[in-house]
């Protein structure tokens, strides 16, 4: 949902997830959303550009409205990577080489999520203090 001000500038952007309504853990929820956007950037030619923009803008906006937190960044990247590793092979979106490439990106996220240097260079860096 979008909330525009009188000047038609964006005031608030709310993401509604009707798939499963419940209170969730922030790192899990962020990780899943980011992984879904990530998959669109890898497998959907039409959505590639918009999904990439949504992903980076979403993380930056989330970071502006929350307290920067190493644990949140780690958890987000861990769940993001796990989502890519577990779900990508189950999707009929890409051929074997492209699917394997995305799974390996997920493995990198999982392995790097506990390393400070990796976190600082990752897409999740916006969530760090």
Instruction: Compute the C-alpha angle 124/126/128, nearest 5°.
Output: 85
CA–CA distance from 126 to each of 87, 102, 118 (Å)? 25, 22, 13
The domain limits of the chain are 26-127
Q: How much is the pLDDT for 10? A: 87
Tokens of 107: 């493995």
Q: How far apart are CA 94 and CA 119, in angstroms?
A: 28
pLDDT of residue 105: 97
pTM for this predicted structure? 0.81
The per-residue pLDDT string of the chain (129 residues; one tens digit each, 9 = 90 and over) reads 888 889 988 888 887 776 766 778 889 999 999 999 999 999 999 999 999 999 999 998 998 888 888 999 999 999 999 999 999 999 999 999 999 999 999 999 999 999 999 999 998 888 998
For residues 35 and 42, what is the distance between their CA atoms, to the nearest angstrom? 11
């Amino acid at each position: 949902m979008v909330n525009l001000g009188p000047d038609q500038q964006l005031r608030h952007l709310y993401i509604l997830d009707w798939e499963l309504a419940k209170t969730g853990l922030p790192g899990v929820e962020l990780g899943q959303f980011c992984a879904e956007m990530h998959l669109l950037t890898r497998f959907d030619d039409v959505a590639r550009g918009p999904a990439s923009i949504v992903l980076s803008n979403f993380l930056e906006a989330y970071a502006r409205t929350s307290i920067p937190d190493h644990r949140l960044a780690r958890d987000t990247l861990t769940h993001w990577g796990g989502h890519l590793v577990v779900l990508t092979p189950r999707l009929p979106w890409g051929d074997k080489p492209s699917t394997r490439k995305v799974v390996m990106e997920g493995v990198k996220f999982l392995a790097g999520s506990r390393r400070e240097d990796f976190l600082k260079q990752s897409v999740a860096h916006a969530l760090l203090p």
